[in-house]
Amino acid sequence: MLMERLCKYIYAKDRTDQIRTRAILCHNYHNALHSCWYQARDLMLMSHLQDNIQHADPPVQIMYNCSMMAAHENDAHRRVISKQLLHQLQVGKQQSMLGPAESMREHVVAASKAMKLGDWKTCHSFIINEKMNGILWDLFPEADKVRKKLVRKIQEESLKTYVFTYSSVYNSISMETLSDMFGSSHCALHHQQDDH
């Protein structure tokens, strides 16, 4: 990314910390606006700007506030979406007869139910299909990359859910079996295992 390259240049060259501080704040704001939550959080924590921002010039304090507001606003928005999804899942449990998914919300709820069972293929079919492509995924720049990343994340999270849900049933399960079930390579499975 251009922003990252420019900021890294400043990080390496600036010796006064004035321009560097502004670059960190701009970089952090950029990350927050582009949904790079973990990078924004890590950058802020590693920079320790929060420790002495009260001693900075007013323009730098304003930049800091804007950066933090962007991060918190998007974090709050994600929490609201999670609460809404949880509510929809609870409503779905109470309904005895369910027809085919029609709205985007119904697709997401049905996909969540499939993922809960570790059924990544069904989850994938609810999230990535002709209807959802037209409503949502085709609107993204580099839509094919987004879909590929989604498929990978669906496989990873379904695998985690499956292992967690059915761990009491199995004494052991081979990597080959998991690889066949979730379309992942042995290397990817080991990577998943190392993350937890």
- Ramachandran area for residue 181 (φ above 0: left; ψ -120 to 50: alpha; else beta): alpha
| Sequence-ordered list of residues with C-beta below 8 angstroms from that of 72, at least 6 positions apart, any chain | none
Neighbours of 64 (CB within 10 A): 22
Most confidently predicted of 52-61, 141-150, 160-169, 179-188: 141-150
* Band (126; pLDDT cuts 50, 70, 90): very high
Residue closest to 44 by CA, chosen among 62, 78, 77, 71: 71
Could you report the per-residue pLDDT of 25-64, keeping only the tens digit for each? 889 888 877 778 788 888 888 888 888 888 888 888 878 8
- Of 47-61, 88-102, 182-196, which gets the smallest average pLDDT? 182-196
Residue 4 makes CB contacts below 8 A (sequence gap 6+) with 27
pTM confidence score? 0.53
- Per-domain boundaries in the chain: 1-97, 99-196
